[in-house]
Amino acid sequence: MSAFEKLKAHSKKISHFKHLGAICGWDQAAVMPSGGNQARSEAMAELSVHVHGLQTQPQLVEWFEQAEQESLTTDDKATLRELKRQWQLANLLPEKLVQAKSLAGSKCEHAWRTQRGENDWQGFEKNWVEVVKLSREEAQIMAEATGLTPYDAMLDTFEPGTSTESLDTLFNSVKNWLPGLIDQVLDKQSSEKYIQPEGTFETEKQKALGLDVMKLLQFDFKHGRLDESVHPFCGGVPSDVRITTRYSENEFTQSLMGIVHETGHARYEQGLPESLSGLPSGEGRSMGIHESQSLFFEMQVGRSEAFIEHLARLAGKHFKGHDSALFSHENLSKLYTRVEKGYIRVDADELTYPAHVILRYEIERDLMNGKIKHTDVPELWNEKMQAYLGLSTKDNYKNGCMQDIHWTDGAFGYFPSYTLGAMYAAQYMAVMKQVIDVDGAILSGDLSPVFTWLSDNIWSKGSLLTTDELVKQATGETLNAQYFKDHLESRYLK
């Protein structure tokens, strides 16, 4: 067996343990009784240590040296590149840190589930201080090894090749034009009349509606399922994808669009190349590319006039007894394109959403780079919310800095992925419409042409290409944020 084949076999062994960890993580978030958290956290920390041990075994040094001298195909070279990247990252971090961060993250996230509802910043902060400390330690170790800033080192684990410098330029540009566009749209919509959901929308009926929409989006139920959790997410593995949403019986629009969003993540996972299963080259390219799929489904398709035709029909079918005017195409279209300056990121419309992301990016960047302390976060959050959206979160932690799950386990560097993903999604759609009658396909109820384009250009590529190579091959150019701005202006002003 060649050194390269040994590396692939070893990677697949690691992948099997990660598979178990992913399903355990889903269970912990979706169905595990609260009393099981301590034992589960310890088991998952032990598993993370075991995986880390496999990733750092001494013989890998020799295997990589030999594999680099072997005759490899272009795809094999890409696989070797991604194998080496993961190996180098793993070798930077000591085992004790990996275990400690896993334990601290599980403890903080589990307590956060109740602390957020109770607006208990003091209780949350006691757990979070350890997560921040260990994350900074991780960031510093990676920074020293790579020559990057601590935050750029963390960012690189989610968005390989992206830097603070490029994000600052990108987001500063958005901050120049976004506030004015938001105000224009708010003024335009101020005189619009629409019907808000009223009454009770039973959870079971919402779930049945969601399942119908997932079928329309061609989710493979033989390799995945829908459940409920405190925070919507997509987890599991490509052969067994688990998505969740959260329901409020006061209305149905948020949970439904949450399902559309997570189905986008899931279809990407289900569409990754089976031939590269268990290898890093067969994984999603980056979190920005992953979010581009969920946001393509949610924003580009899900809120389009053509798709809302289906939502109107299906919602009317499942919620009989309510005012039928609520489920008219015109009303649902207004509901799903309604712009409002709100507190909650996951409930935000696509126009104000970038402001929520930029706020978090600026805070986590400075937190990891040591420019601010974790105790500064509530005040900074309040200042930035007032500056970007005109809202105060003073003493309102549950709708402010405690609202997201990402920071509870130290996922610093993830938030930029959301707005990068929205920009990529707009770029895909603009190019796709040049070769496909997208609206016609959506209206027909057979979205296969749309999914075939995504499969051919994004899903089937896994991580064989760099992010820039992937986007350029699919669209003819690297990220161009103008497509995103054009999309927003077209949808909300014309």
**Would you name the residues annotated as active-site residues?**
262
- What is the token pair recorded at 70? 């072997």
CB-CB neighbours of 249 under 10 Å:
13
Long-range contacts of 272-278, Cβ-Cβ distance < 8 Å, separation of 24 or more? 272/238, 272/459, 272/460, 272/462, 273/459, 273/460, 273/461, 273/462, 274/238, 276/79, 276/462, 276/464, 277/12, 277/15, 277/238, 277/239, 278/8, 278/11, 278/12, 278/15, 278/16
Contact indicator for 7, 63 with CB cutoff of 8 Å: yes
Q: What is the spatial distance between Cα 115 and Cα 231, in angstroms, rounded to a whole number?
A: 14
CB-CB neighbours of 25 under 10 Å:
20
Q: What is the spatial distance between Cα 19 and Cα 433, in angstroms, rounded to a whole number?
A: 37
- What is the token pair recorded at 413? 């560097």
Q: What is the spatial distance between Cα 166 and Cα 20, in angstroms, rounded to a whole number?
A: 36
Q: What is the spatial distance between Cα 385 and Cα 394, in angstroms, rounded to a whole number?
A: 10
- What is the token pair recorded at 178? 């976004």
Contact indicator for 434, 440 with CB cutoff of 8 Å: no
The 3-state secondary structure of 240-293 reads EEEEEECCECCECHHHHHHHHHHHHHHHHHHHCCHHHCCCHHHCCCCHHHHHHH
2 φ/ψ angles, rounded to the nearest 5 degrees: -70, 165
Residues forming beta bridges with residue 226, ordered by sequence position: 243
154 contact partners, CB below 8 Å, separation of at least 6: 135, 138, 139, 142, 368, 412, 413
88 φ/ψ angles, rounded to the nearest 5 degrees: -65, -40
Cα-Cα end-to-end distance for the chain: 62
